[in-house]
A and B are shown apart, each in its own frame.
Chain A
Amino acid sequence: LAKTTQPISMDSYEGQEVNITCSHNNIATNDYITWYQQFPSQGPRFIIQGYKTKVTNEVASLFIPADRKSSTLSLPRVSLSDTAVYYCLVGDNNNNDMRFGAGTRLTVKP
């Protein structure tokens, strides 16, 4: 399984766009990239998944460069309720072991 590296914490203000980058230098050809969000005392919640280029859904965008050695989760116009820990995971369908690292603690300020 590819190891992932994310910033430990980030601060932002309401209304700003937040970009959280994850490094996964050893990503394998069949690996996908998935991001989860976790609020205190709750289980993680799926945000977005991608393989290459760009994926967008109703809550976020995921940018993956051609070499796929990193990925960036983009949260448009964050609000206070986006304060949470964000996890980047990498794996393929032969893996059922979801390896969560320490994640990135995002704090959105008023």
Chain B
Amino acid sequence: ETGVTQSPTHLIKTRGQQVTLRCSSQSGHNTVSWYQQALGQGPQFIFQYYREEENGRGNFPPRFSGLQFPNYSSELNVNALELDDSALYLCASSRSGGFQETQYFGPGTRLLVL
């Protein structure tokens, strides 16, 4: 167990809807990163938040947005859902940003868009 929790575990939405996924980071960690993992592929970096500020973003459109709260928990919001957004969404917390810091992943939220 990493101490990183995500909710909900599973979610079904329809195309065009909006979704909010939540992540609670490990105690003492101030950085949260979000990833999208399609079936059979490796995780793809969406963005990272460090001390409530966005600290890097991958190749995802603006309809993917996020927040980090003062307690360092985080939300991922996806607007105007598309079928291709169906995936496992992972969050990972770390002591700080940067490649050398070990990232501790949560179990993920599996999103299905119909």
Chain A interface (Cβ < 8 Å from any Cβ of B): 31-32, 34, 41-46, 49, 85, 87, 89, 91-103
Besides A43-B105, A94-B98, A96-B97, 11 more A-B contacts (Cβ < 8 Å) are: A42-B105, A43-B2, A43-B107, A44-B90, A44-B92, A93-B100, A96-B55, A98-B43, A99-B45, A100-B44, A101-B42
Interface: B24 (CB within 8 A): no
Chain B 20-41, CB-CB to A under 8 Å as 1, else 0, gives 0000000000010101000011
In the assembly, what is the distance between CA of A102 and CA of B102, in Å? 20
Closest to B58 in A: A97
A57 to B36, CA, bound (A): 29
Q: Per-residue 0/1 for B72-98: is the Cβ within 8 Å of any A Cβ (1 yes, 0 no)?
A: 000000000000000010101000011
Q: Mark B54-81, 1 if CB is under 8 A from A, else 0.
A: 0110100000000000000000000000
- Shortest CB-to-CB span from B107 to chain A, Å, is 6
Q: Are A96 and B48 in contact (CB under 8 A)?
A: yes
Known: A42-B108, A43-B105, A43-B108. A100 touches B43 (CB 8 A): yes
Q: State the main secondary structure of chain A at its contact with B.
A: loop
Residues of chain B within 8 A of A92, CB atoms compared: 99-100
Residue among A32, A87, A89, A97 facing the most chain B CB atoms (10 A cut-off): A97
Contact A103 B42, beta carbon cutoff 8 Å: yes
- Can you sample 9 A-B contacts with CB below 8 Å? A41-B108, A43-B106, A44-B90, A44-B103, A94-B98, A96-B48, A96-B56, A97-B58, A102-B41
Q: How far does the alpha carbon of A89 sit from the alpha carbon of B102 in the complex, in Å?
A: 12
Report yes or no: B105 in contact with A44, Cβ–Cβ below 8 A: yes
Which chain B residue shows the least CB distance to A102?
Answer: B42
Q: Are A98 and B33 in contact (CB under 8 A)?
A: yes
CA distance A93 to B101 in the complex (A): 8
Most buried by B among A44, A85, A95: A44
> Hey, which chain A residues are within 8 Å of B102, CB to CB?
46, 49
B100 near A49: Cβ-Cβ < 8 Å? yes
Check A46/B103 contact, CB under 8 A, given A96-B33, A97-B56, A98-B33: yes
